[in-house]
Amino acid sequence: MRVTMILPALTEATSPLFRPVKYSLFPPLGLATLAGYLGPDDEVTLYDEHVERIRLDTLETPDLLVLQPYITSARRSYEIADHFRARGVHVAMGGLHVTSLPDEAAAHADTVFTGPGEDTWPLFLKDFRDGVPARRYDSTRRTLAGLPPVRRDLIKRHLYLVPNSLVVSRGCPHHCDFCYKDAFFEGGKSFYTQAVDDALAEIERLPGRHLYFLDDHLFGNRRFAEALFDGMAGMNRVWQAAGTVKSVLEPGLLERAAGAGLRSLFVGFETVNGANLAERRKDQNIGRDYGEAVRRLHGAGVMVNASFVFGLDQDGPDVFDRTVEWAVGQGIETATFHIMTPYPSTGLWKQLEAEGRIVHRDWDLYDTRHVVHRPRNMTARQLEDGYWRAYRDFYRWSNIWRGASAQPGAHERLRHLAYAGAWKKFEPAWDALIRSRRVVRALPLLEHTLAAFRSPAARGSGAGTP
């Protein structure tokens, strides 16, 4: 059986003039994971349009086409699906957007999947080989037991800055009502993990030193996380991941992760306005000391990539400057800003739709950079302008220097300047590397920067050195 798998590019990643490095940062693993269920005689090809734009008329006609749309790649996904269906190809489609709007996706596919596919994908493959594929498969059984190895041979590693991405869990134990993932796991467990031994075996298979965990919340199950970090100790890895303010503040857990090689953590602070947290069910942040979380991370030798959302109902026009001022003053190395975006099927979507505040359904603009709802305490223009101003202000050289000055010593200040400056101030260089298909050549520099980012105690003891 000939199978073609395509991850269509997000609309915001397709500019002909500029290619931000974040879209070439790591290989997504959804399709490569599904490919692990195919047989040894199946011919499978995988394309990620974020790193290689494809021309549909040059592709061979497979027996099965598999697509994984996100909301801002839906239009491109449907274009690809319609093209291949016109050639008689069976098109299967799943993922976040399909789960949110299965009827919309079904108009462009022969088979749609809702929820994660570990239980439904093998069933579909059997049905397809038997000539009786169903129109729809809904996931209900949630487990990662017996998950086959990811088909990393299908991934074009040289096109990514950090090719060693991995996922050892699914979902998140929290239920923020603006999160796209919450609805994805309806009908079954919303958070579950691999067996620790399976996760460690996958890590052992990966070459090089750097790892990038794509898990929504690597720290979500403390017992699993502690066992994973204990198993990784001594592997001489450096790695990045995502966690919550709550998990950072839990005694002992962060230190265990840092001892195993954690050097940068994506943290969803989301808002400096505490009134927004309960309204949006961000319960894990309520009553938490954000400043203490940053101090703990820096004290453990872990850089901070902070996430913030603008345009929540309690936000006024002052939220942008307040957020930037707080983040710079804390010495946060990098920040990711978002405009509040109501994704279909989320609690936020349902609220704003009931209030008549959804402006349109042009999915291309649901990229957290455009305003697609009516804000409560500012105009849409104020929200969009403030979003762009926050990025400009946070990454001004003057604020990068000021953020570096908040670090505890000269070593940390130099590292802050190198990391924050390289991420945003050298974007033309990143663009040139991406277009020359040589972005992976910057990996040794990233590894060196991350490896140098250890706590003073660890540096003094020699822990974690090569």
pLDDT, tens digit only, all 466 positions of the chain: 999 999 999 988 877 666 667 788 899 999 999 999 999 999 999 999 999 989 999 999 999 999 999 999 999 999 999 999 999 999 999 999 999 999 999 999 999 999 999 999 999 999 999 999 999 999 999 999 989 999 999 999 999 989 999 999 999 888 888 888 877 888 788 899 999 999 999 999 999 999 999 999 999 999 999 999 999 999 999 999 999 999 999 999 999 999 999 999 999 999 988 887 777 767 777 778 999 999 999 999 999 999 999 999 999 999 999 999 999 999 999 999 999 999 999 999 999 999 999 999 999 999 999 999 999 999 999 999 999 999 999 999 999 999 999 887 777 888 888 888 877 777 777 777 777 777 887 787 777 777 765 544 444 444 333 2
The answer as to whether 146 is a domain residue is no
3 state DSSP class of 46: strand
Domain assignment of residue 429, yes or no: yes
For residue 151, being part of any structural domain is answered with: no
Same domain, 282 and 414: yes
Considering the domain boundaries, does residue 197 fall inside one? yes
In sequence order, what are the beta bridge partners of 65?
4, 91
- In this structure, the answer to whether residues 105 and 240 fall within a common structural domain is no
The DSSP code sequence of 244-273 is -HHHHHSTTHHHHHHHTTEEEEEEEEE-S-
Distances (CA, A) of 414 to 129, 335, 383: 58, 18, 34
Supply the range of the domain harboring residue 292.
Answer: 161-456
Tell me the CB-side half-sphere exposure of residue 369, using CA atoms within 13 A: 11
In 3D space, the residue among 161, 197, 77 whose CA is nearest the CA of residue 422 turns out to be 161
Residue 72 has a CB neighbour count (10 Å cut-off) of 25
Q: Is residue 463 part of a domain?
A: no
Say what the pTM is.
0.92
Question: Does residue 150 fall inside a structural domain?
Answer: no
Environment class of 52 (CB within 10 Å of its CB; exposed 0-12, middle 13-18, buried 19+): exposed
Q: Give me the number of domains the chain comprises.
A: 2
| Residue type present at position 241 | A
Residue type, 370: H
From 105, 138, 171, give the residue that closes a domain: 138
CATH number at residue 82: 3.40.50.280
